[in-house]
């Protein structure tokens, strides 16, 4: 087991009072699994990632984490414009004091493996939106986390780029044998990418449904083309009360 929420609740305390963000939340993410969490807007999806990463602690319940570090990929690529692509990829190594020749070489090997060899000396402004997200993913992988936490990392991209980058990111994560927890508001994206989809209720978020996705041979493109896709979309749409 890589990550397990056991009856987890979390309450925000503000000057105006308390807000229950999640309540009695239980689900698991197994090693090597790609799990998506979907739910209504404002239901606490990003809070779940913060809890998973240990940035905040539950008000009740507990979270069990397996071995290995966590890597966080945000809604925007957050690349520093004054640093080259190569220097951006090395950033986590500097922050986590892992900036050794061996770790830098590993990061460069990842970059070259996934099509960034000719872009390492360029600035982020010279890259397309899709390529910038690939750099952001390789940067996240540079510190060798076992589990990736993905906070709607494709939401800033146009539709066509988003489809291509989703497939790209999925292939890299699976190829590198990483575990992934994605939060998204996009039902199609969740079905295409995931081994399992967790559906949340409105706030305070509880598990409204949990679905294993077994059709389409695990490829996002094949999933979208599969006859079972529309049926699963309708099931999830109904659970979300959309």
Mean pLDDT score of the chain: 90
Q: What is the pLDDT of residue 100?
A: 94
- What pLDDT is stored for residue 4 in this prediction? 95
Read off the pLDDT of residues 204-241 as tens digits, 9 standing for 90 and up: 889 999 999 998 877 788 899 999 999 999 999 999 88
Q: What does the pLDDT read at residue 19? A: 84
Say if CB 197 and CB 36 are below 8 A apart: yes
The pLDDT confidence band at residue 242, using thresholds 50, 70 and 90, is low
Which is higher by pLDDT, 156 or 130?
130
Tell me if the pTM is above 0.85. Answer: yes
Confidence band (pLDDT; 50, 70, 90) for 68? confident
Is residue 9 within 8 A of residue 24, CB to CB? The reply is yes
User: Residue 126 phi/psi, 5° resolution?
Assistant: -85, 0
Q: Under a CB-based contact definition with an 8 Å cutoff, are residues 31 and 190 in contact? A: no
pLDDT at residue 1 in the model: 54
Q: Tokens representing 146?
A: 């076992």
The strand ranges marked E within the chain are: 3-14, 17-29, 34-38, 60-65, 70-73, 147-151, 179-183, 196-200, 207-212
Which whole number is the average pLDDT over 60-68?
89
176-177-180 Cα angle (round to 5): 105
Per-residue pLDDT, 158: 83
d(CA 24, CA 20): 11
Rounded mean pLDDT of 174-185? 93
**Mean predicted confidence (pLDDT) in 60-75:** 88
The residue written with tokens 């990463």 in the block is 53
pLDDT higher than 90, residue 126: yes
Q: pLDDT category, 202, cuts 50, 70, 90?
A: confident
Phi, psi of 102 (to 5 degrees): -65, -45
pLDDT > 90? residue 59: yes
Report the C-alpha gap between 186 and 198 in whole angstroms.
13
Higher-pLDDT residue of 36, 156: 36
Q: For position 10, what pLDDT does the model report?
A: 94
Q: List, as one string, the DSSP characters of 144-192.
A: --SEEEEESTTTTS-HHHHHHHHHHHHHHHHHTT-EEEEE-S-HHHHHH
Quote the CA–CA distance of 185 and 80 in Å, as a whole number. 27
How many residues are there in the chain?
Answer: 242
pLDDT over threshold 90, residue 73: no
Alpha carbons 193 and 169: distance in angstroms, whole number: 9
Q: What is residue 38's predicted lDDT score, i.e. its pLDDT?
A: 95
């Amino acid at each position: 087991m890589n990550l397990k929420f056991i009856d987890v609740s979390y309450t925000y305390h503000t000057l105006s009072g308390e807000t229950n963000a999640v309540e009695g939340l239980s689900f698991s993410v197994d090693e090597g699994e790609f799990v998506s969490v979907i739910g209504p807007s404002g239901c606490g999806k990003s809070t779940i990632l913060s809890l998973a990463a240990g940035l905040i602690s539950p008000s009740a319940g507990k979270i069990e984490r397996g071995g290995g570090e966590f890597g966080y990929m945000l809604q925007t690529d957050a690349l520093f414009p004054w640093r080259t692509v190569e220097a951006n990829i090395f950033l986590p190594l500097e922050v986590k004091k892992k900036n050794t020749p061996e770790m830098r070489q590993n990061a460069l090997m990842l970059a070259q493996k996934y099509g960034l060899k000719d872009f390492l000396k360029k600035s982020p402004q010279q890259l397309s939106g899709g390529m910038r997200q690939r750099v952001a993913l390789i940067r996240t992988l540079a510190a060798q986390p076992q589990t990736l936490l993905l906070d709607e990392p494709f939401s800033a991209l146009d539709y066509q780029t988003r489809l291509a980058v989703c497939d790209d990111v999925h292939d890299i994560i699976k190829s590198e044998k990483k575990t992934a927890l994605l939060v998204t508001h996009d039902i199609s994206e969740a079905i295409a990418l995931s081994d399992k989809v967790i559906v949340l209720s409105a706030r305070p978020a509880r598990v409204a449904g949990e679905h294993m996705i077994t059709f389409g041979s695990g490829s996002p493109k094949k999933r979208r083309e599969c006859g079972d896709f529309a049926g699963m979309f309708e099931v999830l749409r109904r659970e979300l009360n959309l």
